[in-house]
Structure 1
Amino acid sequence: MSRRIRLTAFAVPFTVLPAGIWRLPAAFGEGIGPAERLYIISLTVFSEILAFTAFGLIARWGEVFPRWIPFLRGRRVPMTAAVVPATIGASILTLVFTFLFTVSEIRGTTIQGDGLPAGSPSLTTGWEAAWYYFCYAPLALWGPLLAVLTVAYCKRRRAAAPVPAVA
């Protein structure tokens, strides 16, 4: 596996991390109830866990089930079991974060097409807006990076597949 593909896999969690860092202080701000706090923290942790699953596309456990998984341990992971979720994830992430986020920012609307609320980063200037974009812009790379890893995984698994004997 190439060094570039490894670096791509390591980059994926770092595309998600800044948004989590931006979101977490809001969880502990004034006027935030326990349910909202739990939601924000859970969203941040869940996003990072999803981002870390990209390592499965370069790691041994993405090709062979680990020993701790009952009934499957040591068996090859079916290629479709990794490729289908990764492809769907890459498509959704690219659509949401790359396309819809960019279009909504350019148009000055939310993803639903509504006008932006007062105080949103697009309507503010200065360091608040800069910090917001610094933290959320990397999310636009999450889907495309996952797509690159998925294609590399497919190529690597196909190249490693046993070739049937010619009769």
Structure 2
Amino acid sequence: MSSPANTVAPAPRWAVRAAHAAALTTVPSGLWRIALGLGLPVGYSDEVLRENFDIPGWGVVYVIGLSVVSEAFALLTLGLVRPWGEVVPRWIPVIGGRRVHPLAAVVPAALGAAALVCIWSGFVFWWSVEETPAMQGPWHTIVGTLYQPLVLWGPLLAAVTVSYYRRHR
């Protein structure tokens, strides 16, 4: 007897690669924010860290938490190409082992992709914006480089979402 996961064609290779790429887009900026939260020299003076970011203080929890949450959401893209995006893993209470309704995955993923495009598309123009006076030395360029992958997160998620929808309709 076939399980619901076996009744759907596997994700195309390009979609699997795009899902993995989407999951990796948050890593560079996340590592920079974690370094910021740990008080490492990432372009801001100690005064700017205290006044603008509340570091040390609650700002540490915020920037590290933002990095962890961002990566967790990015990793959810893998569910659109993996079996756990088709059947809820058994270890999850109450709903474990049940088939995932396609729209339960497609609607949040599509809304997320649209939101990500709106949020991050401005970073395409990072280098046309005046350097932030609070950033010291070459950090404006370094931070721009670390945030550029986020521009791809929304379009990659959108492409993988379309692939998932087509395989499950």
TM-score past 0.5 threshold: yes
Please list, as runs of the form range in 1=range in 2, the aligned pairs for 1:28-47 lying within 5 A after superposition: 28-29=38-39, 30=46, 31=50, 32-47=55-70
State how far apart, in whole Å, the 2-side matches of 1:55 and 1:142 are.
13
Look up the equivalent residue of 1:119 and give its one-letter code.
Answer: A
Instruction: Note the residue ranges of structure 2 that are not aligned, 5 or more in a row.
Output: 1-10, 40-45
Look up the equivalent residue of 2:134 and give its one-letter code: G
> For 1:12, which of 10, 18, 22 is the aligned residue?
22
Partner residue, 1:112: none
TM-score (normalised: structure 2)? 0.78
Aligned residue number for residue 133 of structure 2 = 118
Select which of 123, 129, 133 maps to 1:108. 129
Which structure 1 residue ranges, 5 or more long, are not aligned? Answer: 110-115, 159-167
Q: How does 1:69-80 map to 2 (within 5 A)?
A: 69-80=92-103
What is the TM-score of this pair, normalised by structure 1? 0.79
Is this contact kept in 1: 2:113–2:155, CA < 8 A? yes
Q: Which residue of 2 aligns with 1:141?
A: 152
Query: How many Å apart are 1:107 and its aligned residue?
Result: 6.3
Change (3 A) 1:106 1:129: closer
- Which residue type is aligned with residue 101 of structure 1? F
Cα displacement string for residues 110-152 of structure 1 (whole angstroms, at most 9, x for unaligned residues): xxxxxx75234xxx7x632331122000000000000000000
Give the alignment of 1:76-87 within 5 angstroms. Answer: 76-87=99-110
Larger RCO: 1 or 2 (CA < 8 Å, sep 6+)? 2
